[in-house]
């Protein structure tokens, strides 16, 4: 599956609304960028897909990370419960595993550092099982579970801390490659050769991310068995996916997301359900904005006409209507910078870069703002992007011929993906 914005908060807003970031107006992970802002709450939160489920009598439950700025005092605090959710267990702020605050149905609940009581993935599981205990074969319900894994700070449950010790991050052809003048400004700042200490840290992050996911495996296993034991499994659809991809050393960027490349815009999508044929693979392009209309159609709830996403339910069950023939879509990102100097990195000016976690290698910048058109069909597998920067820099790749996006074709491009055409999308 593709995400239409490779960053937590805009992508999550797209999943909830079925809309591109340009149409739900969440630009980044800050309140000023509309991440859980009062503006978002007043204009979009009461139109998310779950509100339609609630109107149809579904029992609804949310647990885990919501939007990054959820629960902050300036946006309503823990008392604010988004529309449509009967039972609410929302994490205050961004991903954590210990030392966090939850809003449990609007009540503030603090958690500490005891693995047996506080490890967030397991706490989400406990609340989920409590919710499932209230369900039976005569009830309709929707659960949305959002554990922190494998997000930073990559803290595994104690029994998994030594797993995968012999594994390293994949050394893809674009691992440790500085793109030079073929890549946009931010990637030109990365080192020509990644220092061994940075590579060691990348491998540590890779292993720790996998370790955190073992607790997610446990969670899925327990919920699966609970549904089976209650004889609800064969009448329940289960979706497993993520809000963004991740890079680990590609183009000499240590670890993060936010980039236009395949490693940041592709995520897993697994579906199980009563009408889903075992082992099938959908070849048609599916986007995060397609989840909301798909959920609605599978529940026989009318899909609002203003959604950007398209239901892929026809691929999951036999429907009379034909599936979409979409062959292109948008990928976009609004770059961020900090108004403070980067400590120990005098080469960067205030207001230039952001997220510089190791060795003065930064993962975002104000000019990492781009709009891409992705074409994906039986005949074409292309992406073309233009940046909103001082250069109007462009990048384009034939993914079939160049899956690791090493050869920028934009300078020689002469097609619908022209600079003029892409610039119009910024308007």
Three-state SS annotation for the chain: CECCCCCHHHHHHHHHHCCCHHHHCCCCCCCCCCCCCHHHHHHCHHHCHHHHHHHCCCEEEEEEECCCCCCCHHHCCCCCCCCCCCEEEEECCCCCCCCEEEEECCEEEEECCCHHHHCHHHHHHHHHHHHHCCCCCCCCEEEEEECCCCCCCCCCCHHHCCCCCCCCCCCCCCECCCCHHHCCHHHHCCCCCCCHHHHHHHHHHHHHHHHHHHHHHHHHHHHHHHHHHCCCHHHCCEEEECCCCCEECECCCCEECCCCCHHHHECCEEEECCCCCCCCCCCCCCEHHHHHHHHHHHCCCCCCCCCCCCCCHHHCCCCCCCCCCCCEEEEEECCCCCCCCCCCCCCCCCCCEEEEEECCEEEEECCCCEEEEEEECCCCEEEEEEECCCCCCEEEEECCCCCCCCCCCHHHCCCCCCHHHHHHCCC
Q: CB of 59 within 8 A of CB of 134?
A: yes
Q: Whole-angstrom Cα distance, residue 82 to residue 252? A: 39
Token pair of 405 as six digits: 């996006």
Distance of alpha carbon 146 from alpha carbon 216, whole angstroms? 10
* Residues contacting 418, CB < 8 A, separation 6+: none
Asked if the peptide bond before residue 153 counts as cis, ω within 30 degrees of 0, the response is: yes
The length of the chain in residues reads 427
- Parallel/antiparallel/unpaired status of strands 59-65 and 141-146: parallel
Report the catalytic residues. Answer: 8
Q: How many CA atoms lie within 13 Å of 154's alpha carbon, on the beta-carbon side?
A: 14
């Amino acid at each position: 599956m593709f995400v239409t914005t490779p960053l937590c908060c805009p992508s999550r807003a797209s999943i909830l609304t079925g809309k591109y970031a340009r149409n739900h107006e969440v630009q980044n992970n800050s309140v000023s960028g509309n991440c859980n802002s009062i503006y978002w709450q007043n204009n979009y939160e009461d139109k998310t897909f779950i509100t339609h489920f609630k109107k149809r009598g579904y029992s609804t439950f949310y647990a885990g990370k919501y939007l990054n700025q959820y629960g902050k005092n300036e946006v309503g605090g823990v008392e604010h419960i988004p529309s449509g959710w009967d039972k609410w267990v929302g994490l205050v702020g961004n991903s954590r595993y210990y030392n966090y605050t939850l809003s449990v149905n609007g009540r503030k609940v603090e958690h500490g550092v005891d693995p047996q009581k506080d490890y967030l993935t397991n706490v989400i599981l406990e609340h989920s099982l409590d919710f499932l205990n209230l369900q039976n074969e005569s009830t309709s319900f929707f659960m949305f579970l959002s554990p922190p894994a494998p997000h930073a700070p990559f803290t595994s449950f104690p029994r998994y801390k030594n797993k995968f010790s012999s594994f390293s991050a994949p050394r893809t052809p674009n691992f440790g490659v500085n793109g030079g003048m073929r890549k946009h400004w931010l990637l030109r700042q990365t080192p020509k050769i990644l220092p061994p200490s940075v590579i060691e840290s990348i491998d540590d992050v890779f292993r720790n991310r996998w370790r955190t996911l073992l607790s997610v495996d446990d969670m899925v296993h327990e919920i699966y068995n609970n549904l089976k034991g209650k004889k609800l499994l064969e009448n329940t659809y289960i979706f497993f996916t993520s809000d963004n991809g991740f890079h680990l050393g590609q183009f000499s960027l240590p670890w993060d997301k936010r980039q236009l490349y395949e490693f940041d815009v592709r995520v897993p999508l697994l579906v199980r359900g009563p009408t889903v044929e075992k082992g099938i693979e959908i070849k048609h392009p599916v986007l995060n904005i397609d989840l909301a209309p798909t959920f609605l159609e599978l529940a026989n709830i009318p899909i609002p006409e203003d959604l950007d996403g398209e239901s892929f339910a026809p691929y999951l069950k036999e429907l009379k209507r034909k599936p979409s023939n979409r062959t292109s879509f948008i990928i976009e990102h609004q770059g961020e910078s900090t108004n403070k100097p980067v400590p120990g990195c005098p080469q960067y000016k205030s207001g230039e870069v952001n997220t510089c976690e190791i060795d003065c290698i930064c993962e975002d910048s104000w000019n990492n703002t781009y709009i891409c058109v992705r074409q994906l069909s039986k005949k074409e597998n292309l992406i073309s992007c233009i940046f909103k920067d001082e250069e109007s820099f462009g990048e384009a790749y034939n993914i079939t011929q160049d899956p690791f996006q090493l050869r920028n074709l934009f300078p020689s491009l002469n097609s619908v993906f022209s600079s003029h055409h892409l610039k119009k999308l910024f308007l």
